[in-house]
Amino acid sequence: MAAVRFLDQTLFAQLASDAKASGRQRYHHLLHRADEPCQRLVAGLQPDTYIAPHRHLAEDKAEHLIVLRGRLGLVLFEADGQILRARELSAAGDCCGVDIPPGLYHALVVLTPDSILFECKAGPYQSLRPDERAPWAPGEGDPAADEYRQWLCSLFAR
């Protein structure tokens, strides 16, 4: 039998600290085994992380996201890169989560330090295929990625 794992402030503080120490400014804590049919994870996220626009094409890859701490900006895109919708997700706000259907391009930006996100989708894990990456947006590690991330963040300026 697997051990009980609590999603508590101690875990959140550790994830936030691990994200700060990570070059990618994010850190994942897996709640599932690699062979499980459902991926579940909690992620610590810092504002400088870049989560490039992407989509999941498999019919069973709807993605469920819930903000447990902090604020994130969700941007949904048309296939050509035009913004379909931008919505703030906040643990303390009007909307704390989203269920993203397969095939829809989306990106996240972190609006407050030490944000924590719960993610769930069908497993097993598969890295993104080239046709799941947005061809109109810089990829992670691209020199233009930080400027693009900042532009996405500006959609949520208060």
What are the pLDDT digits (tens) for 112-133?
999 999 999 998 888 999 999 9
pLDDT on residue 77: 98
Q: Taking the C-alpha atoms of 145, 76, 32 and 26 in order, what is their torsion angle to the nearest 10 degrees?
A: 30
Q: For the chain, which residues make up each domain, given as ranges?
A: 9-154
Query: Which CATH number is 9-154's, of 3.40.640.10, 3.40.50.920, 2.60.120.10, 3.40.30.10?
Result: 2.60.120.10
Of the chain, the percentage scoring pLDDT greater than 70 comes to 99
Mean pLDDT confidence for 47-64: 96
pLDDT band at 18 (very low <50, low <70, confident <90, very high): very high
The tokens of 137 are what? 């947006």
Mean pLDDT confidence for 124-147: 94
Whole-model pTM: value is 0.95
